[in-house]
């Protein structure tokens, strides 16, 4: 049976499906008719193999407590080996209803209220939320924008922040959201060595690990065995196969002591078995989804290149940051001279766009906008046309 869902130009109407991206604009303070390219899910139908697996499981008609066996782990392990050259073991796996849940779990398991937790802004805003909502203190080793139009790590500041704040937990985002950086093995080694030196546990959010267009993704745990024993690796099929609503992530923890403590905190939250159809979808994705994935990746890469060319040719004063991964584009409007509040007003009320304003990623994001380009090209072009005609 051949893969059916390979027409990524097809515009699928998501309205009326209780879709967070399309159906909740007014509730979120936006005009009803905005075009949304904010939240990080795709406007593509997932692999038909996943669709068929979910439909077949649904026909059974019983959705009781569900667990997984060897076939699920074998599918996950096969994907990690094929795409990331990482050999994983069954005992490392703890399943959670999402990577953000896992980040919050790690914060609660390995720090105490009042402790300081290190992140690298501008970064995905739930990083700050899981720290501050759990009564910890956020400390940022801000990434800096280099002359090469890419973000970089200030390693001296990284070590200084750890020493000065008695940091014991570092939340790493790689590939990095929203900047698109895919940190090199050498960069990860420097980070990891500093963390080992000061006994800082690394929680590595690698949810965008399958979206790399330049270079390659390096799993933090593969850099050194010492890193594997000092890290929690967060993965999921949710970004790769557009399964965010299935609520399933695969958290891999080689260190038994760390894994035991993490599992205790998961148990304390009341989570046990996860969503039946999420487990079904994830197994099908990793067993049969390669053809769809490769085609989707090629399409998204072309969308990113299209956006880069469009910005260069049509949006004076706007710079597109040169990332290596994710399907999220980070646009810098600071050279336009438009005030930040005015920029936001024009984007929302003149261009009628729902994007992610840069400030939510930290103060270093002020003057930026994040755009999700995992959509049919006609939608991406419409977004860019509206910026050209109503913002710039």
pLDDT at 86: 98
Domain boundary among 288, 311, 335: 288
With residues binned 3-state (H G I as helix, E B as strand, rest as coil), the percentages for the chain, rounded to 5, are: 45, 15, 40
pLDDT in tens, 352-385: 999 999 999 999 999 999 999 999 999 999 999 9
Q: Which two tokens stand for residue 337?
A: 């001279």
Select from 342, 331, 337 the least CA-distant residue to 370: 331
Locus of tokens 């990577």: 99
Residues in the chain: 392
Both structure tokens of 344: 């936001």
Domain assignment present for residue 267? The answer is yes
Distance CA 194, CA 273 (A): 37
Looking at the structure, do residues 281 and 313 belong to the same domain, yes or no? Answer: no
- Considering the domain architecture, whether residues 153 and 165 belong to the same structural domain is answered as yes
Question: Helices marked H in the chain — which ranges?
Answer: 20-23, 48-59, 70-84, 99-110, 126-132, 155-165, 185-197, 220-223, 225-228, 256-268, 276-288, 290-314, 340-345, 377-390
Inside any domain, residue 4: no
Backbone angles phi, psi at 283, to 5 degrees: -60, -45
Q: Are residues 74 and 168 in the same domain?
A: yes
Mean pLDDT across the chain, nearest whole number? 98
pLDDT in tens, 302-325: 999 999 999 999 999 999 999 999
223 and 347: one domain?
no
Are residue 244 and residue 226 in the same domain, yes or no?
yes
> Do 73 and 25 fall within a single domain?
no
186: in domain: yes
Assigned token pair, 96: 């959670």
Co-location of 185 and 333 in the same domain: no
Do 137 and 259 belong to one domain? yes
Judged by phi (left if over 0) then psi (alpha if -120 to 50, else beta), residue 362 lies in left
Determine the Cα–Cα distance for residues 85 and 250; give it in Å rounded to an integer: 17
Q: Does residue 7 belong to any structural domain of this protein?
A: no
Residues 161 and 221 in one domain: yes
SS3 label, residue 234: strand
Tell whether the model's pLDDT for residue 55 goes beyond 80: yes
Three state DSSP letters for 180-227: CCCCCHHHHHHHHHHHHHCCCEEEEECCCCCCECCCCCCCHHHHCHHH
* 11, part of any domain: no
pLDDT at residue 1 above 80?
A: no
Angle at alpha carbon of residue 243, lines to 6 and 304, rounded to 5°: 55
pLDDT band at 132 (very low <50, low <70, confident <90, very high): very high
pLDDT at residue 268 tops 80: yes
The tokens for 56 are 């077949």
8 within a domain of the structure (yes/no): no
CATH number at residue 272: 3.40.640.10
Q: Six-digit token pair at 46?
A: 């997932």
Domain identity same for 139 and 229: yes
SS3 label, residue 310: helix
Report pLDDT for 49.
Answer: 98
Residue range(s) defining the domain that contains residue 144? 52-288
**Minimal CA–CA distance to 341: which of 358, 329, 362, 354?**
358
Task: Kindly report the CATH number assigned to the domain that includes residue 328.
Answer: 3.90.1150.10
Domain end position, chosen among 224, 257, 288? 288
User: Residues near 371 by Cβ (< 8 Å), separated by ≥ 6?
Assistant: 37, 307, 328, 329, 331, 355, 356, 383
In the chain, what percentage of residues exceed pLDDT 90? 100
Q: How many CA atoms lie within 13 A of 67 on its CB side?
A: 6
Longest dimension (CA), the chain: 59
Euclidean distance between CA atoms 2 and 283, whole angstroms: 18
Chain segment 216-263, per-residue pLDDT in tens = 999 999 999 999 999 999 999 999 999 999 999 999 999 999 999 999
Do 326 and 226 lie in one domain? The reply is no
Whether residue 10 is contained in a domain is answered as: no
Claim to verify: residue 270 and residue 366 sit in the same structural domain: no
pLDDT the model gives residue 90:
98
pLDDT at 44 over 80: yes
Number of folded domains in the chain?
A: 2
288, 312, 340 — which closes off a domain?
288
Q: Flag whether 6 is in a domain.
A: no
């Amino acid at each position: 049976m051949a893969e059916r869902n390979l027409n990524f130009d097809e515009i699928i109407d998501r309205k009326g499906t209780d879709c967070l991206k399309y159906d909740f604009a007014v509730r979120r303070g936006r005009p009803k008719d905005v075009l949304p390219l904010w939240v990080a899910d795709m406007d593509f139908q997932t692999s038909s193999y996943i669709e068929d697996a979910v439909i077949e499981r649904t026909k059974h008609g019983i959705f009781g407590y569900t667990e997984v066996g060897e076939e699920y782990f074998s599918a996950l392990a096969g994907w990690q080996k094929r795409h990331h050259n990482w050999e994983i073991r069954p005992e490392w796996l703890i399943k959670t209803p999402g990577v953000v849940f896992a980040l919050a779990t790690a914060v609660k398991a390995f720090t105490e209220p009042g402790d300081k937790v290190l992140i690298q802004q501008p970064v995905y805003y739930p990083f700050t939320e899981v720290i501050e909502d759990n009564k910890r203190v956020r400390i940022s080793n801000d990434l800096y924008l280099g002359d090469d139009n890419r973000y970089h790590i200030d390693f001296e500041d990284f070590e200084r922040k750890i020493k000065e704040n008695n940091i014991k937990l570092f939340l790493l985002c790689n590939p990095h959201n929203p900047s698109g950086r895919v940190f090199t093995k050498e960069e990860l080694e420097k980070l990891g060595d500093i963390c080992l030196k000061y006994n800082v546990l690394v929680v590595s959010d690698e949810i965008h690990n399958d979206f790399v267009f330049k270079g390659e993704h390096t799993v933090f745990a593969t850099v050194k065995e010492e890193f594997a024993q000092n890290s929690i690796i967060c993965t999921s099929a949710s970004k790769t196969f557009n399964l965010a609503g299935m609520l399933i992530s695969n958290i891999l923890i080689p260190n038994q002591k760390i894994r035991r403590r993490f599992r205790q905190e998961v148990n304390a939250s009341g989570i046990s078995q996860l969503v039946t159809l999420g487990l079904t979808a994830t197994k099908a994705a990793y067993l049969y989804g390669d053809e769809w994935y490769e085609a989707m990746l090629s399409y998204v890469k072309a969308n990113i290149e299209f956006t880069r060319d469009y910005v260069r040719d049509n949006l004076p004063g706007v710079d597109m940051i040169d990332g290596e991964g994710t399907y999220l584009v980070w646009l810098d409007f600071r050279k336009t001279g438009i005030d930040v509040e005015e920029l936001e007003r024009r984007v929302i009320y003149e261009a009628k766009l729902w994007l992610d304003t840069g400030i939510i990623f930290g103060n270093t994001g002020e003057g930026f906008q994040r755009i999700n380009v995992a959509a049919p090209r006609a939608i991406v072009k419409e977004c860019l046309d509206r910026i050209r005609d109503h913002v710039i």
